[in-house]
Amino acid sequence: MPKPSLRDAILHAGLKAMFRTGYHGTSVRDVTAAAGAPQGSFTNHFRSKEAFASEVLDRYFEHTKGLVAEALQDTSLTPRARLRRYLDIITGRLADDGFNRGCLIGDFSLEASGSSELLRARLADIFAAWRVPFADCIAEAQARGEIASDFDAGELADFLLASWQGAILRMKVDRNPKALERFKTIAFQTVFKEPS
């Protein structure tokens, strides 16, 4: 009988470890030890630490897309309220972690995109896909007159995600939600305000 694959356990352990200590701060040995797997299992499933980290990002992004859908597909809310709902959901998740951890996509963007072309390209693809549901929601809000149409919906989506990542980074430094709440207040009273 073949041995069970340890691939999922290694990915799960890698996600937890990289969230805690980052890409460069996490070794293959750390991951395999946390997964209860021999180091040889890692090389059986992943051709490199970079390739492994790319799959960890994919796993994290799948979870993130679920949170995006939870907020942006809630048709009981207006499109503008859905945008705010997403930010509130993420704020709640960050609070659950004591404002110690941020977003793995943002963390990898800072830490690994300069040293790994593979991860930089994967992150670019993730951001391109991530912006789509936000651009669609913003376009719907613009069509309904909830948000001004001075800027392209895709550009506003990029602005929202990039600025939110910055607020999350500041939150990690301060270990409190002030940067997140400041961003939400200012963004929804300026860029995403309801036209008068």
All domains in the chain, ordered by first residue: 1-46 (1.10.10.60), 48-189 (1.10.357.10)
Encode pLDDT of 171-188 as tens digits: 999 999 999 999 999 999
Our CA angle for 174, 175, 176, nearest 5°, is 90
Encode pLDDT of 6-52 as tens digits: 999 999 999 999 999 999 999 999 999 999 999 888 999 999 999 99
* pLDDT on residue 190: 96
CB-CB neighbours of 124 under 10 Å: 12
Q: What is the pTM of this model?
A: 0.92
Coil, strand, or helix at residue 186?
Answer: helix
Encode pLDDT of 72-123 as tens digits: 999 999 999 999 999 999 999 999 999 998 999 999 999 998 899 999 999 9
Provide CB contacts within 8 A for 25, sequence distance 6+. none
Encode pLDDT of 147-175 as tens digits: 999 999 999 999 999 999 999 999 999 99
